[in-house]
Amino acid sequence: MPNKSLIYVGDPMCSWCYGFGVPLQALLQSLPDVPLNLVLGGLRAYNKEVMPDNLKATIHQHWDAVHKRSGKPFGTGQFDRAGYIYDTEPACRAVVTIRNLAPSQTLVMYHAVQHAFYALGHDITQTQVLADIWQGIQTLQANKVPPQMLLTRDEFVEAFESDKMKMLTHVDFEQVQQWGIQGFPALIAVNGEQGHMVANGYMEATDMLQRVQAAFTSN
């Protein structure tokens, strides 16, 4: 579809974004020729405060609601580490790194980071954990991608820790603020130069498809 695309605004450490992967995948299967551009939202980016117990309890309540709505699995122990700081910038930056250096794997990395955090309980604020996630994807892709096109673990870490990726990640956050998007997930249908908000929060695939089709046929 020329001049038609989707923009998905999300954060790997947003639980509703994690659940949103289910209807999003169904929607994309219905729109195989429509490109999807992922923009990272920075839900709790640059947070420096240790997570208090009352916030942990509130977040777990959200997780229960996401599980009931989407069926996505949730593990335990994510917040059991002493002095845990819920900073979503590193996870966002990991996805931005792949978007820039291995763009075909952007959504794969995004979902893999989510799974590592929510289902497996890994600390995705840590560089080496994020590198492990990319290495796992790389291993799965080894037979599908020419070796010279694979981004190695060391190359990922070098890029991830660079000032350039930190800047590009911040650019994403600023763009989302300029759009006025305050909640995630958000899905925008772009028709020519016009953007139409399809979803600002969790929505089932059938409802999103109707809204996308309406946006794509509007003048």
Q: Where are the domains of the chain?
A: 4-217
Q: In this structure, what token pair is assigned to residue 177?
A: 């603020």
Could you give the 3-state DSSP secondary structure of residue 152? Answer: coil
In this structure, are strands 36-40 and 4-10 parallel, antiparallel, or unpaired? Answer: parallel
Partners of 196 in beta bridges: 189
Contacts with 215 (C-beta within 8 Å, 6 or more apart), sequence order: 189, 191, 194, 196, 198
- Give the C-alpha separation, 15 to 2, whole Å: 33
Q: Domain 4-217: which topology?
A: Glutaredoxin (3.40.30)
Res 182: pLDDT: 87
Q: In this structure, what token pair is assigned to residue 204?
A: 């089932």
CA distances 48 to 88, 125, 132, Å, are 11, 12, 24
- Give the C-alpha separation, 15 to 55, whole Å: 14
- Give the C-alpha separation, 112 to 71, whole Å: 17
Q: Which of 33-42, 51-60, 143-152, 191-200 has the lowest mean pLDDT?
A: 143-152
- Give the C-alpha separation, 3 to 1, whole Å: 6
Res 145: pLDDT: 64
> pLDDT, tens digit, for every residue of 165-196?
999 999 999 999 999 998 999 999 999 999 99
Q: What 3 state SS string does 127-148 have?
A: HHHHHHHHHHHHHHHCCCCCHH
Res 146: pLDDT: 61
Res 76: pLDDT: 83
Q: In this structure, what token pair is assigned to residue 83?
A: 């002095």
Q: How confident is the model at residue 150 (pLDDT cuts 50, 70, 90)?
A: confident
- Give the C-alpha separation, 121 to 87, whole Å: 15
> pLDDT, tens digit, for every residue of 69-109?
999 999 988 888 888 999 999 999 999 999 999 999 999 99
